[in-house]
Structure 1
Amino acid sequence: MESEARVREGEKLIRVLAFTLVISVMSATMFNIVLPEIGKQFELTLSQVSWVSSAFLLVYAIGTVTYGKLADTYKLKNLITFGLVFFAAGSLVGLAAPNYGTVLIGRVLQAVGAAVIPATAAIIPVRYFPPEKRGRALGIAMTGLAIGSALGPVVAALVVGVAHWRWLFAMPLFTLLALPYYRRYLREEERKAGAIDWLGGALLAGTVSLLLLAVTYGKWLPAVGAIAAFVLFVSRIRAAKEPFIRPALFSSKAYALGLAIAFVATAIGYSLVFLTPQLLAGVHRLEPGLVGFVMFPAAVATALLGRTGGKLADAKGNSVLFYAATAMLVVCFALMTSFTGAPPAFIALFLLFGNVGQSFLYIALSNAISRTLPKEHSGVGMGLLSMLNFIAGAVAAAVYGKIVDDGAGFRLNPAISRPEAYVYSNLYIVLALLLAFMAMLYYVIFGRTDRDDKKRIRRRGRS
């Protein structure tokens, strides 16, 4: 009875969470559209104005694991309240910003609050749903992410078409509508004993910040600083009585290698977001507005099929979803490498396989990794996963950008005739091979869990 009541509460929470994720993702991506407008108003270079997005994502990544750690000690109900109020407060600061510095402060305050949302999205499916029902919950959360990704650029374009770009700061205020529902349905949990290792948290934040700066700007000094901060962080968590992250968490081979697979999978999937606009603009000479139209159908398909992926994991087993997702991504990359110069309508069709496959892959890996964690460490464990996803995206963007800038004087696929398309075609072949290797590694790590899944599903079918 207790578990059934928890699942009923979880069903309500996951829908509220999906709405909150839509707003959060939109807020993270909308400002990319208006960076030229902001730069023009404040007379800034592109590298200067890009901090509107970079600062948000930097704090967002660090905040995700921080809220995850706090959720292992403090009530999630109070953390989500603090986060959403802070998110709205940052929006008000941005709306009233008289200069660029205040705009940046508003974005940082937004990120401090908004970071609670991906942390909550990772925790609620683990705490409120048993493993056999968790896939569907993750699928609903993925639907929220996909809708936010699809709507962000469209809504931003509509807003700046009729009003000042500053009104984009108003969007997060809608998350306050969800706050009463979180307060109502999140359980009153006991505060757990133990102190927070703030020094360890600061060293982790410093490591991530310096790493992202090094990757984004290609500078060696932040890279050296990141290595030094990481060494100090490892020393701290080994010596502290109550470390920010317990080293024992990584003694689980399945968890540690699961994080590694998720990192690679996110980096591979980021190619769809990063390389496609470059391909359409550089090879097909499309304007930015038309690039958005080419990518929009795949985002809509991902939103529509997110719940289907979760249901498939629950009904057939996590491995079925994982291998189906991998197959769809391989099909996408195979088509992209062979028809890189095909009309944009074909690229839009190929992306359907890629985007849906990537969303299914996220559901499968989140589901698999969550099962390796003890409940008392689910917050920080899943928070680390979310943080690594952000880092993977930043690293992938830097690597892909460097490769595209350097170009390619040869082709791995003889079907490609346009020299400017060589680099994209070659990259898609390498990514497909990486996916195949990742699938083999997944089988080695999670094969036992997958067999247990199949036995459980067979028993459920007979009962």
Structure 2
Amino acid sequence: MFHWYYFAGAVVFFGGLWIRIHKIEIPFIQPSLIRDKGYRQILYMSFLGFVTHFAILIVMPLMLQHVFGKNPTAVGFIIFPGAMLSAVAAIFVGRLIDRYGNIRVMFLAHILLIVSTVLFYLLSPHSEYMIMLAYMFTSFGFSSLSSSSTNEVSRVMSRELTASGIGMKQLIHYVGSASGSVLGGIIVEMGGADFPISSFQNTFLVLIGLMTGSLLLLLLYRRHVHQS
């Protein structure tokens, strides 16, 4: 809705939170976590990954309904393969992490998510089956990023900060999920009430940019790890 007082309220509450975590002895959000550059980069990547995934989840059914005229049952069947792949992916992602390490799996996840958003942008207007295919890339990439980044936090954080670090990351997941849904809805709505194809493509174009930015963050994070 773009009302300024929501933003002003968020700034006030954030300021209150910052004061609070510096005053009590053992806050849930440790200030030392926020000051850790590598940890912040993992949080940024997690946030962008969740934004991308949940923006696609909100936009995909709308596109199937308004562009291809699919009913809710058909929409569910088109999304179903990607959802099943996400459930099965957990087994393989764990094995990949054990074999190749967190950072390589995070690279794989970013490539899959970028490929999926490019497929959505280029091919989704032509066929609903392209949407099914693109979401399978999204699903596997998202599972890979979520698992490998959480595992990386447990690897790089000190024992005293691991629980707090993973908890903070989970909070970022919730914020990213909500932000992605809002972002996807806003961009589609900006295209007009008739939901033209261009409004969906604009959403996917923004997501391509977000995941490209996240990949750059991963490159910076890898350099930071090597230097430290």
Normalized against structure 1, the TM-score is what?
A: 0.46
Aligned partner of 1:241 among 17, 25, 36: 25
Higher RCO (CA < 8 A, seq sep 6+): 2
Q: Which residues in structure 2 correspond to 1:91-170 (within 5 Å)?
A: none
2:139 to 341, 355, 368: 355
Quote the offset at 1:299 in angstroms. Answer: 0.8
User: Structure 1: where are the runs of 5+ without partners?
Assistant: 1-216, 409-418, 453-463
Root mean square deviation, CA, Å? 2.2
Q: Distance in 2 between matches of 1:321 and 1:241?
A: 37
Q: Give 1:385 shift.
A: 0.7
- Distance, in Å, in 1 between the alignment partners of 2:57 and 2:217 is 25
Structure 1 pair 232–243 and aligned structure 2 pair: CA distance change class (3 A): same
Is the Cα–Cα contact under 8 Å of residues 78 and 129 in structure 2 kept in the other structure?
Answer: yes
Q: Quick one: distance in 2 between partners of 1:277 and 1:451? A: 44
Matches for 1:26-425 after TM superposition, within 5 Å: 219-407=3-191, 420-425=196-201
Q: 2:210 aligns with which of 434, 437, 441?
A: 434
CA distance in 2, matches of 1:356, 1:403: 25
The one-character-per-residue Cα deviations of 1:389-431 (angstroms, maximum 9, x if unpaired) are: 11111122112211111107xxxxxxxxxx8111212222232
Q: Which residue of 1 aligns with 2:220?
A: 444
Per-residue CA deviations over 1:350-399 (Å, capped at 9, x if unaligned) read 21111111111111211222223222222221111111111111122112
Amino acid at match of 2:163: G
C-alpha distance in 1 between matches for 2:28 and 2:171: 15
Give every structure 1 segment of 4 or more consecutive aligned residues whose post-TM-superposition deviation is greater than 6 Å: none
1:297 positional shift: 0.6
Give the letter aligned to residue 129 of structure 2: A
Distance 2:143 2:227 in 1: 23
Measured after TM superposition, the shift of residue 330 of structure 1 is 1.8
CA distance in 2, matches of 1:288, 1:249: 43
Sequence identity (%): 25
For the 8 Å contact 1:281–1:291, the answer to whether it is kept is yes
Displacement of 1:236 = 1.7
State TM-score, norm by structure 2.
0.89
Listed as ranges, the gaps of 5+ residues in structure 2 are none
Query: Do 2:114 and 2:208's aligned partners in 1 also have CA atoms closer than 8 Å?
Result: yes
Q: Partners in 2 of 1:448 and 1:308 — Cα distance?
A: 28
Residues 282 and 428 from structure 1, CA distance in 2 versus in 1: closer, same or farther, beyond 3 angstroms? same
CA distance in structure 2 between the aligned counterparts of 1:403 and 1:309, rounded to whole angstroms: 32
Q: What secondary structure, in the 3-state scheme, does the structure 1 residue paired with 2:68 have? A: coil
